[in-house]
């Protein structure tokens, strides 16, 4: 399979991308923009809390965060579990182990209230920005 992909790349380089050339400056600018788009800890926290409205394992949570394009924990899985531990210690989430040894996480009332408050603030902030941009 790998050889077929390499052959496909060679063919595409010769035919499809033959007229495309990017300077080193342009490539550097693209890489810089990609790196600037990294998610903030606050955005990750909000996404985690939104996903924990329903009970999830750490593995399920990781897959769903990947689906949202969040990659901060890809090279550091400890980041996600540290965040979950902090949420548990603050009383925002609750955990339970099942018989198979999987740990489940979900929001407690305190976490739901914090999530609702945060989402309302974000919505209000977006409306204000929209008004400024349209006005």
27-68: pLDDT as tens digits: 777 666 665 555 677 888 899 999 999 999 999 999 999 888
29 Cβ partners below 8 Å, 6+ apart? none
What is the Cα–Cα distance from 108 to 59, expressed in whole angstroms?
Answer: 20
Long-range contacts of 128-133 (CB under 8 A, 24+ apart): none
Q: Which two tokens stand for residue 104?
A: 């489940």
Residue with tokens 């897959």: 63
Q: What is the pTM of this model?
A: 0.64
Domain 40-134 falls in which CATH fold?
A: Arc Repressor Mutant, subunit A (1.10.10)
pLDDT in tens, 75-100: 777 888 999 999 999 999 999 999 99
Segments making up each domain of the chain, as ranges: 1-37, 40-134
């Amino acid at each position: 399979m790998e050889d077929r992909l390499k052959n496909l790349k060679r063919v595409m380089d010769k035919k499809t991308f033959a007229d495309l050339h990017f300077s080193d400056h342009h490539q550097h600018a693209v890489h810089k923009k990609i790196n600037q788009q990294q998610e903030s800890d606050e955005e990750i926290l909000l996404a985690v809390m939104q996903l924990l409205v329903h009970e999830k394992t750490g593995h399920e949570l990781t897959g769903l965060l990947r689906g949202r394009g969040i990659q901060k924990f890809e090279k550091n899985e400890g980041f996600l579990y540290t965040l979950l531990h902090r949420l548990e210690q603050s009383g925002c989430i609750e955990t339970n182990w099942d018989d198979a040894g999987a740990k489940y996480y979900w929001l407690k009332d305190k976490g739901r209230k914090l999530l609702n408050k945060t989402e309302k603030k974000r919505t209000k902030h977006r409306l204000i920005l929209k008004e400024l941009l349209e006005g």
